[in-house]
């Protein structure tokens, strides 16, 4: 087996990244996505890999895959019809949520409707106390009655989430057994099996999201497995997880909550890899596809993680790569609102019919059409020849907004770009403000099919000096899945004081989690290499309502060093809130452990750099700052390490187009990355 393949399926394109283990060569490919026929794009891609690069299916020994099917199911509300069984008198858990207003500055702001409305939420007579003891046993008559009501409401699945089940899951499992006996055709999901954490809302909403997407995800993964088998690929597919690791596709069918952010996590993992190679270890990753732009922070070369990330309108409490999605992409449609104002997005042309310039049936103006009219896009093939380019069709589409606004077509196209960038600027500004990050201290790492087109325009607005464009930005998410390690998160609620008396309980908890991690890697993933662990906990000062996560050194855990564990929390609290009370008692609520198994990775070696002025392929005319102007055109594969040039320029390559405005200077580093620097006059 000589080839390792990473695949990322997006809204418009499916990306392939191939690494030859023998020659160390890499290849990249794009094919059009097929949301109407899951697995068809994989078949098409595998066929083209053989045709273009001689990669025979039987030689593919490793296959990783990132997908957005889970998150898209939630965003589009196309999941299964669920019913929820809760403890009697707790049927409002999803309605109450955390009583937070989505937009605190909007007096008319409303919380989204739950995925399971109250009329499909049924009480079960039972009660487990906060210490795990049983106050009321499960009343089977209530369960049977709830099942009958669920059937009457045409339920396609049942979620069981009971109060204090994190302490004792027996009642949830008893109810699930009754459901399987009385209604064996109804899938049933227990909250403690999905993610056993304290606080009923967080546990319930996570379990509901899992149950909502599980049938669709399972069907999708089965289709993927069948497509690979049909194509003759022997490798069992691995699925990128929300936490930046990978797991087997078979496990993904039942652990859907773990892979809900699969596709976006792949991109951030790839971005972290590029940040380390390029030397710009503090960066903002900027992944722009056909429908959305995903933004994340890279700190010291590592992606940042969070709990409670938003999946569409709902939070999920599985640890995930921290990513914020903006409704602006290459396929975002420009339109005029009721008062005559030009707007861009959030509606997207997607893969079908796509932008007008793709000649796939699209007729409405998009951001990509605007770049085509301005002369940036269309100077070479697009998407590895996956789509043709029709600039005349783009001009016709742009005229639909240009004529009512009494603008020329190029003026309207430039306005579309500026409006799209301003929307991105607004959302990224909110994000950096909420994290307390100064964008000027970061590079902007641009990838995705449309990221390099818009990156310099956005960076200038954010006053970011450096933009980094990887060698294959259009398929970086596929590379991210290829280099991801086997990785899983484990959690145990203990609710203890951090002192010497509690250390045996804390150590026993970590021992239990390590055993779970070892079993997951060895038995469920078949991993035989060395295992590493990352220890952390959710801690708070006594009297506080919520916790923060603090990371512990392995040596402190091995030595049962209670002072080091407490100090880790004090330091984390001080970093976030600028103060800590080291004399106050500390509580630890959850123990957390990440079990990791390293996967083989391609190694990239830098080439020697010799500074030289790059030679353009030719001069082209673009429209910039309200007037036509001349720009140099470069081919990415002809640029060598050390080459430099100034804007205005356009760099074309098979997976994207890089726009270099007049106020940027570009240079190629030793790895082939394009480093764009804002000129300081």
pLDDT(565) > 60 = yes
Q: What angle do CA 256, 257, 261 make, to 5 degrees?
A: 95
User: Which of 315-324, 515-524, 583-592, 648-657 shows the lowest per-residue confidence on average (mean pLDDT)?
Assistant: 315-324
pLDDT-based confidence at 666, cuts 50/70/90?
Answer: very high
Closest by CA position to 120, among listed 42, 212, 48: 212
- Predicted pLDDT at 569: 96
pLDDT digits (tens, 9 = 90+) for 263-300: 888 889 999 999 999 999 999 999 988 777 888 899 88
User: Domain 3-74+216-259 carries which CATH code?
Assistant: 3.30.420.40
**Structural domain spans, the chain:** 3-74+216-259, 81-186, 486-597, 612-678
Tens digit of pLDDT for each residue in 574-633?
988 889 999 999 999 999 999 999 887 777 777 877 788 999 999 999 999 899 999 999
Q: Please count the helices (runs of H) and the strands (runs of E) in the chain.
A: 17, 36
**Secondary structure of residue 260 in the 3-state scheme:** coil
Least reliable range by pLDDT among 20-29, 614-623, 631-640: 20-29
Provide DSSP, 341-379. -EEEEEEE-TTTT--GGGTSS--S-BHHHHHHHHTSS-S
Tokens linked to 269: 């993992």
Q: How much is the pLDDT for 386?
A: 56
Nearest to 157 by CA among 189, 192, 114: 189
Tokens of 627: 């007037």
DSSP 382: B
Cβ–Cβ < 8 Å for 218, 38: no
Q: Which of the listed CATH numbers 3.30.70, 3.30.420, 1.10.150, 3.30.1490 matches domain 486-597?
A: 3.30.1490
Distance separating alpha carbons of residues 465 and 455, to the nearest angstrom: 11
If residue 441 lies in a helix (H) or strand (E), which one and from where to where? none
pLDDT digits (tens, 9 = 90+) for 218-229: 998 998 899 899
Positive or negative: CA dihedral 492, 494, 496, 502: negative
Instruction: With beta carbons less than 8 A apart as the criterion, state whether 654 and 383 touch.
Output: yes
CA dihedral (213, 218, 219, 224) positive or negative: positive
On the question of pLDDT at 312 being above 80, the answer is no
Average pLDDT over every residue of 420-430? 89
What whole-number distance in Å separates Cα of residue 640 and Cα of residue 98? Answer: 54
Angstrom CA distances, 653 to 15, 21, 477, 637, stand at: 14, 24, 17, 7
User: Do the beta carbons of residue 75 and residue 240 sit within 8 Å?
Assistant: no
Determine the Cα–Cα distance for residues 333 and 343; give it in Å rounded to an integer: 8
pLDDT bracket for residue 68 (50, 70, 90): confident
Q: Token pair of 233, please?
A: 């690929």
Cβ count within 10 A of residue 240: 34
Per-residue pLDDT, averaged over 39-50, amounts to 87
151: how many CB neighbours lie within 10 A of its CB?
14
How many C-beta atoms surround the C-beta of residue 251 within 10 A? 18
User: Are the folds of 3-74+216-259 and 486-597 the same?
Assistant: no
Which of the two residues, 70 and 156, has the higher pLDDT score? 156
Tokens representing 324 are: 């914020």
Least confident range of 187-196, 326-335, 556-565: 326-335
Distances (CA, A) of 272 to 286, 308, 427, 448, 458: 12, 22, 21, 14, 20
- d(C-alpha 220, C-alpha 67), whole Å: 10
Relative orientation angle of helices 200-231 and 40-53, to the nearest 10 degrees: 50
H-state helical runs in 382-441 = 391-402, 409-435
Any long-range contacts for 618-625 (C-beta under 8 Å, 24+ apart)?
Answer: 620/375, 620/379, 620/650, 621/375, 622/374, 622/375, 622/376, 622/648, 622/650, 623/373, 623/374, 623/375, 623/410, 623/413, 623/414, 624/374, 624/414, 624/648, 624/661, 624/662
Sign of the torsion formed by the C-alpha atoms of 335, 337, 341 and 343: negative
């Amino acid at each position: 087996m000589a080839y390792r393949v990473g695949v990322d399926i997006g809204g418009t394109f499916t990306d392939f990244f191939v690494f030859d283990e023998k020659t160390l060569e890499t290849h990249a490919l794009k094919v059009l996505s097929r949301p109407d026929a899951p697995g068809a794009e994989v078949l098409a891609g595998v066929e083209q890999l053989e045709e273009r690069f001689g990669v025979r299916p039987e030689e593919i020994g490793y296959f990783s895959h990132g997908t957005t099917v889970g998150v898209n199911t939630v965003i589009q509300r196309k999941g299964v019809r669920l019913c929820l069984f809760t403890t009697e008198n707790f049927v409002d858990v999803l309605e109450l949520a955390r009583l937070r207003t989505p937009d605190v500055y909007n007096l008319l702001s409303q919380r989204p409707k739950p995925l399971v409305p109250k009329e499909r939420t049924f009480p079960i007579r039972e009660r487990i106390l906060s210490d795990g003891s049983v106050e009321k046993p499960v009343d089977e008559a209530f369960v049977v009655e709830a099942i009958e009501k669920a059937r009457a409401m045409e339920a396609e699945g049942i979620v069981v989430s009971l109060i204090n089940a994190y302490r004792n899951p027996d009642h949830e499992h008893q109810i699930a057994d009754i459901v399987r006996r009385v209604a064996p055709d109804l899938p049933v999901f227990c909250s403690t099996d999905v993610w056993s954490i304290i606080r009923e809302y967080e546990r319930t909403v996570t379990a509901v999201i899992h149950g909502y997407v599980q049938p669709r995800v399972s069907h999708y993964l089965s289709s993927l497995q069948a497509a690979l088998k049909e194509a003759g690929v022997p490798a069992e597919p691995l699925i990128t997880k929300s936490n930046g690791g990978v797991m087997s596709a078979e496990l993904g069918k039942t652990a859907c909550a773990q892979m809900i952010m699969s596709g976006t996590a792949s991109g951030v993992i790839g971005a972290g890899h590029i940040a380390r190679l390029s030397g710009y270890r503090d960066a903002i990753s900027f992944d722009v596809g056909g429908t959305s732009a995903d933004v994340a922070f890279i700190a010291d070369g590592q992606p940042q993680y969070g709990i409670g990330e938003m999946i569409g309108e709902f939070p999920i409490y599985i640890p995930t790569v921290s990513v914020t999605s903006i409704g602006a992409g290459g396929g975002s449609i420009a339109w005029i609102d009721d008062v005559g104002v030009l707007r861009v997005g959030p509606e997207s042309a997607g893969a079908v019919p796509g932008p007008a310039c793709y000649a796939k049936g699209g007729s409405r103006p998009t951001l990509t059409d605007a770049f085509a009219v301005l002369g940036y896009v269309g100077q070479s093939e697009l998407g590895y020849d996956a789509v043709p380019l029709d600039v005349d069709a783009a001009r016709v589409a742009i005229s639909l907004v240009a004529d009512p606004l009494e603008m020329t077509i190029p003026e309207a196209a430039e306005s579309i770009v500026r409006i799209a960038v301003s929307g991105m600027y607004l959302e990224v500004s909110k994000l950096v403000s909420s994290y307390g990050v100064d964008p000027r201290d970061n590079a902007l790492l641009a990838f995705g099919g449309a990221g390099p087109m818009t990156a310099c325009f956005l960076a200038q607005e954010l006053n970011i000096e450096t933009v980094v464009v990887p060698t294959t930005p259009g398929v970086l998410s596929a590379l991210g899945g290829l280099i991801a390690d086997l990785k899983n998160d484990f959690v145990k609620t203990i609710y203890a004081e951090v002192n010497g008396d509690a250390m045996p309980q804390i150590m026993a908890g970590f021992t239990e989690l390590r055993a779970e991690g070892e079993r997951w890697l060895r038995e469920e993933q078949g991993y035989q290499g060395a295992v590493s662990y990352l220890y952390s906990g959710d801690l708070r000062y006594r009297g506080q309502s919520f916790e923060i996560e603090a990371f512990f050194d392995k040596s402190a855990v091995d030595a049962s060093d209670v002072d080091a564990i407490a100090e880790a929390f004090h330091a984390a609290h001080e970093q976030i809130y600028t103060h800590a009370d080291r004399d106050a008692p500390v509580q630890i609520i959850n123990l957390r452990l990440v079990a990791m198994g390293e996967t083989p990775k391609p190694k990239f070696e830098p080439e020697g750099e010799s500074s030289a002025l790059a030679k353009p392929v030719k001069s082209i005319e673009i429209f910039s700052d309200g007037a036509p102007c001349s720009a140099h055109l470069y081919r990415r594969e002809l640029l060598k390490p050390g080459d430099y040039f100034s804007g205005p320029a356009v760099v074309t390559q098979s997976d994207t187009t890089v726009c270099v405005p007049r106020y940027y200077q570009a240079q190629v580093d030793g790895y082939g990355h394009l480093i764009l620097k804002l000129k300081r006059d």
